[in-house]
Amino acid sequence: MSLFLIAALPFLGAVFPALLVRAGRDAAASAAGLTTLLALVGLLINAPAVMRGEVVTARFDWIPALGLNANFFLDGLGLLFAGLILGIGLLIILYARFYLSREDPVGQFYTYLLLFQGAMVGIVLSDNILLLLIFWELTSLSSFLLIGYWKHLPEGRQGARMALAVTGSGGLAMIAGMLILGNIAGSYDLSVILTQKEVIQASPYYLPALILILLGCFTKSAQFPFHFWLPHAMAAPTPVSAYLHSATMVKAGLFLMARMWPVLAGTQEWFYIVATTGLVTMLLGAVIALFKDDLKALLAFSTVSHLGLITMLLGFGTKFAAVVAVFHIINHATFKAALFMSAGIVDHEAGTRDIKRLGGLRHLMPLTFTIATVAALSMAGIPPFNGFISKEMMLDAAVQTSWFNSDLIVPVLVTVAALFSAAYSFRFVAHVFMGDQRDDYPHPPHDPGPGLWLAPAFLVLLVVLIGLFSKAVAGPLVAVAASAVIGGAELPYYSLKLWHGFTPALYMSIVAVLGGIILLALHRHLERGWNAMRRPEAKEIFDALIGGFTRFSRWVTDGVHNGVLSRYAAIFVVFTVGLAWYAYATGTTSMPTRLPLEAPLVPIIGWICLVAATLAIMWFHRNRLLALVLIGVVGLMVSMAFNYLSAPDLALTQISVEVVTMILLLLSLNFLPTETPVDSSRRRKIRDALISIVAGIGSGGLIYALMTRDFAFPSISDYHLANSYSGGGGTNVVNVILVDFRGFDTFGEIIVLGIAALIIFALTESVLATNVRAYLLNRKPHWPQSGDAHPLMMVVVTRVMMPIALMVGVYIFLRGHNQPGGGFIAGLVVAIAVLMQYMASGFAWATERQRLPYHGMIGWGVLIAAATGLGAWFNNVPFLTSDFTYVNINPFEEFELATAMLFDLGVFLAVLGAVMLALESLSRFAWQPGMVSEHAMDINPMRDDPPEAASKDSEGQA
């Protein structure tokens, strides 16, 4: 099975549980289980090749220019982790089916679980670090949904936010580190990066990249000081805790450290950062776990401790320690998932997971007692279970490690951590299952049905089998995975067996077990001292930090984003001017290479008009209507400038947009006062004037510098001019750029234009239900109004001109590929022609004769443009690449047919629909059925008649 399909199956299958939830809980669970099983089968199909030492690959060049390739590869390390993710995931799906109550939305749970599963599988199979980063962030998002699954619990919501904040922040740091690493290696493909150890470690950017990547790993795997989020994730349902803490999310950081071990390990920086962090986390987590009364909290801190253990082993930087780390990853996944499920069974059946309310359950729940005891003894490192073997090997690796020239620090601290680990493991068994039977359980405890105990029983069976037959059961997988971790080098000597003789590791292990028994016996006294001790609480520190950041953000936001647009503009312009001045002061400029051209009289007059109109806008800006007229003058002069500078396409577009914009703004003036209120003090005006003058001088100087100098690099316009006809089949370069070279931009623009029109429609729909409409209809006019709302001459002229205008629009549309014109301009021309009917004959008259809905025009326009672009894929060319040919049909002359015309048709329909929908939406404020007469239906923004005047005008017109 292809690696693409294995990675995609969980995402594809995530749809089915949500759809099948009405078919019953079994249907949703079966869909999730079948999806995971198929992915697991696909993985097992590739397993024999991996076990032979081969690497299975799947490659797809996604965005090669950015180095973002959808490449996957499966080696021993990927096989190990993918097997844990899918195998334990299958058991979790079975367990969750019987654990969740009937009130819980099971379909939603399995959908979240499969999304998370797919993100994890993507991480361990990715052969491209950019792709890996995408999956990495998906794990943060999907785990947020899983941890906060019980939305009704405040602790669930807070735990989800905390996990997202911590792991998300670390993910941002890791993105930066991965980009640096890829830049050092010259590739973003892991298969290439893993061969560049010397180049990477010799780079001056090695340490920054290492620290940033480790931040991502440490936050994801709950290493000190980021360990606090993991216990608070216990608010999630037990199946989530078992999955996240045994085989998936918290293992993601370990996986990445193991994956990067061949190129990042082996330096002093790696050793002291990774090994020290792991050692501290291991010791701290073990100590805290001993004093937790919540079963899941105890297991959560034990997870923190064991994650620290594996991190420490990877940090040692030796091949033997790397092998031990791989082996303990397997062992920890088996006994920890079984322990979490056992804790969930106790909570499910006894009604509590508070250790102080439990005890004596071995008589009432013998099956659960057996499963939990075996898993806990393995966690404590008691033979003959698998945890004992990896613990002995870990102690052996610690004995061989020197820290700051001391051979005792690491072994002593590791032994103390193992001692506390044994103590909390013994407490899990003794305080929950041993002792006298009680009569005050919240619910009468009893062993559950097979649906709940089958999954942990299978894992406990693996615990026993790996312990007794390590070499046969786990040996081959450990070998192939460890070989991948150490970069394919020769494996060191190691032995997966229970007895290694009388070694320092054995004596350390005996001390840890005996010390654990002593700590358990003294637990009550130690607990009193622990509770009396003043110690920093990570949650309180986190809440204080978040609160401080929130207050600082509000202070900045309130000071900057205070709703005053002039302040936003001032900040933006000052920053831009300052940045430009810095660039000018620190850069170099060449001497001018072009002489200014002599300006004729007509352009000078146009420039004077443009400047005069701009200055007049500044002076009369409070008078909105006059300012609008002056804006129209500016737009007209810009259109004339385009035409003078041989840009007829831009001139046509500008003048068409100008007309439509003026009408839209005139309609909008209906909702605004006649004059803008004075809201700026004299000091602010002087400030704004100074900023504007400096910015204007700077912009003018930059433009002058560019116009009087040749470019150092050839302009992209040369390419467009040379390839317009041969590549796009058109001589109108502007149109070819819009529909071919930059067709994707145009496609996005028509979508945005359509969305804007739909938003205007939605806003006006909502406002129509308020008293704004009544206010507008009852306003008193500020000046005398015309008695004739629809002059007969205007009605006749617009109806006569309608077919002519439509013909002009069609002509502009058809000629656009080779002459000035095109779909955008044609859409605006036809929109103006239709709009004139509204203005001349009234809103009601035009609406009654409207045959094509404007919403539909937008939709059809986007669909036609998209279909044209997708058609290019069938010819194995990029999206929206156009094609053309010449056709001879008698008696016509030879003419051209281009796919760009279909795309331009989509642009035409989208523009026409969007413009008309926006204009119609704003015009509806003047009319609503059953409320006012036809006069109030007019799209005449200058009228302000009260309802009684409207009635008289209507009667007179009738």
Tens of pLDDT, residue by residue over 435-488, are 888 878 888 888 888 988 999 999 999 999 999 998 888 889 999 999 999 987
Determine phi and psi for 368, rounding to 5 degrees: -60, -40
pLDDT at 944: 40
Task: Convert 519-553 to b/e letters by CB count within 10 Å (16 or more is b).
Answer: bbeebeeeeeeeeeeeeeebeeebeeeeeeeeeee
pLDDT at 928: 42
Pick the range with the lowest mean pLDDT from 7-16, 232-241, 410-419.
232-241
Least Cα distance to 651 among 643, 663, 661, 659 occurs for 643
For the segment 639-665, the average pLDDT, to the nearest whole number, is 86
Work out the pLDDT band at 312, boundaries 50, 70, 90: very high
For the segment 53-68, the average pLDDT, to the nearest whole number, is 82
Distances (CA, A) of 186 to 67, 136, 195, 204, 405: 10, 22, 11, 15, 37
Instruction: Give the domain ranges of the chain.
Output: 3-526, 527-562, 730-958
Work out the pLDDT band at 396, boundaries 50, 70, 90: very high
Pick the range with the lowest mean pLDDT from 150-159, 313-322, 669-678.
669-678
Work out the pLDDT band at 150, boundaries 50, 70, 90: confident
- 385: alpha, beta or left? (left if phi > 0; alpha if psi -120 to 50): beta
How do residues 812-846 score in pLDDT, each as one tens digit?
Answer: 988 888 888 888 889 988 988 888 888 888 777 88
Answer yes or no: is pLDDT of 788 > 80: no
Work out the pLDDT band at 6, boundaries 50, 70, 90: very high
3-state secondary structure 386-418: HHHHHHHHHHHHHHCCCECCECCHHHHHHHHHH
For the segment 558-571, the average pLDDT, to the nearest whole number, is 80
How do residues 314-330 score in pLDDT, each as one tens digit?
Answer: 999 899 999 999 999 99
Work out the pLDDT band at 776, boundaries 50, 70, 90: low
How do residues 899-953 score in pLDDT, each as one tens digit?
Answer: 888 888 999 999 999 988 888 887 765 544 433 333 333 434 333 443 333 333 3
Instruction: Give strand pairing partners of 884.
Output: 898
Answer yes or no: is pLDDT of 106 > 80: yes
pLDDT at 38: 94
For the segment 229-240, the average pLDDT, to the nearest whole number, is 85
Determine phi and psi for 892, rounding to 5 degrees: -80, 155
Distances (CA, A) of 787 to 537, 732, 790, 791, 840: 78, 48, 9, 9, 14
For residues 618, 620, 621 and 625, what is the CA-based torsion angle, rounded to 10 degrees?
-140
Pick the range with the lowest mean pLDDT from 35-44, 575-584, 673-682.
673-682
pLDDT at 785: 65
Average pLDDT score over the chain: 85
For the segment 530-538, the average pLDDT, to the nearest whole number, is 76
| E strand or H helix that includes residue 73 | strand 72-74
The residue with tokens 């008589």 is 363
**pLDDT cut 70: percent of the chain above it:** 94
**pLDDT cut 90: percent of the chain above it:** 37
3-state secondary structure 198-259: HHHHHCCCHHHHHHHHHHHHHHHCCCCCCCCHHHHHHHCCHHHHHHHHHCCHHHHHHHHHHH
For the segment 183-195, the average pLDDT, to the nearest whole number, is 90
For the segment 78-101, the average pLDDT, to the nearest whole number, is 92
pTM of the model: 0.72
Work out the pLDDT band at 787, boundaries 50, 70, 90: low
Work out the pLDDT band at 773, boundaries 50, 70, 90: low
For the segment 687-697, the average pLDDT, to the nearest whole number, is 89
Q: Two tokens at 664?
A: 């839209």
pLDDT at 230: 85
Determine phi and psi for 63, rounding to 5 degrees: -125, 80
How do residues 743-771 score in pLDDT, each as one tens digit?
Answer: 888 999 999 999 999 998 888 877 777 77
- 448: alpha, beta or left? (left if phi > 0; alpha if psi -120 to 50): beta
Amino acid, single-letter form, for residue 137: E
Q: Two tokens at 119?
A: 């993100």
Instruction: Give strand pairing partners of 406.
Output: 403
For the segment 21-40, the average pLDDT, to the nearest whole number, is 89
**Using CA atoms, how far apart are residues 165 and 144, in angstroms rounded to an integer?**
10
Answer yes or no: is pLDDT of 166 > 60: yes
Beta strands, E only, 288-432: none
Answer yes or no: is pLDDT of 672 > 50: yes
pLDDT at 315: 93
pLDDT at 348: 87
Pick the range with the lowest mean pLDDT from 136-145, 182-191, 555-564, 755-764.
555-564
pLDDT at 36: 94
pLDDT at 590: 80
